[in-house]
Amino acid sequence: MEDGQVIAVKRLMRASSDEQREKDFLTELGTVGHVWHPNVSALLGCCIDRDLHLIFEFSSRGSVSSNLHDENSPPMAWKLRYNIAMGTARGLHYLHKGCQRRIIHRDIKASNILLTSNFEPQISDFGLAKWLPSEWTYRAVAPIEGTFGCLAPEYFMHGIVDEKTDVFAFGVFLLEIISGRKPVDGSHKSLLSWARPFLNEGTIQLLVDPRLEQDYDMEQLKRLTFAASLCIRTTATLRPSMIEVLEILEGGEIPQDRWNLPEEEEEEFWGFDDLNEDEDECDTPSTSSTRSS
């Protein structure tokens, strides 16, 4: 910029036709143009000369993914990981409850969480985001888009999205922050499937990124893993809201029995390895409140 400010420019290229690309541009512009929060990427403007561009503040530290998985850099410190989890939770809570209309991001993942010069996390990339008006319980969308390994089962199998869709993805994000593992790695085993035995058996210390060499806070680890285990529950209605996630992460007293699963929900979904077995068991919300797009 003329004043010396460094910016990030996003060029809209995803759509297959000019008409669809313009529609996607206006949709994303209409979404990010109404949000303002320290943990959400700030839109500075747009440009429609020759092409379609959105202009954002520049995130000088890159993404959480690039910092977490860069083998040539020192491992991300535990304190920073926890602060990133907290800030991202605040930003997501704002999108769900702090805007004029609820915003469902639909693609919460480490590469879409950018870091400022002070390592403050900011949720970015609203290309898949959807408005959810107050009178709607959820909406049905097609086609299914997002990142494999982070998709909630009700969205992956039925195209149903609401705030709990993002909550599920945030749970995967927490496990990635803790473990340093990607949602799906070269072994084709999902992060959720890998984490399942440790969460079930309570051996949560085995989830921690070995590069940290046990340099982490055990109380914070308990809170992160507890929050993650709630977020990735199969049934959307049994997942916490983001304000409840924040209560857990910020040290609030959370009665364990408040989150006990009903007996019929004891068999949990732990990743896409289980989809073929559990597809018929995944609850679908009542059609009385659905909306399509």
Please identify every residue annotated as catalytic: 107
DSSP string, 196-264: HHHHHHT-GGGGS-GGGTT-S-HHHHHHHHHHHHHHT-SSGGGSPPHHHHHHHHTT----GGGGPPPGG
Which residue, chain included where needed, has tokens 């009542």? 286
Read off the tokens for 199. Answer: 């969460």
Q: In this structure, what token pair is assigned to residue 6?
A: 């460094």
Tokens 């473990």 locate to 179
Rounded Cα gap, residues 37 and 209, in angstroms: 30
E-strand stretches of the chain: 7-11, 43-47, 53-57, 102-104, 113-115, 121-123, 130-132, 139-140, 160-161
- Among candidates 142, 133, 151, 135, which has minimal Cα distance to 293? 142
200: CB partners within 8 A, 6+ apart: none
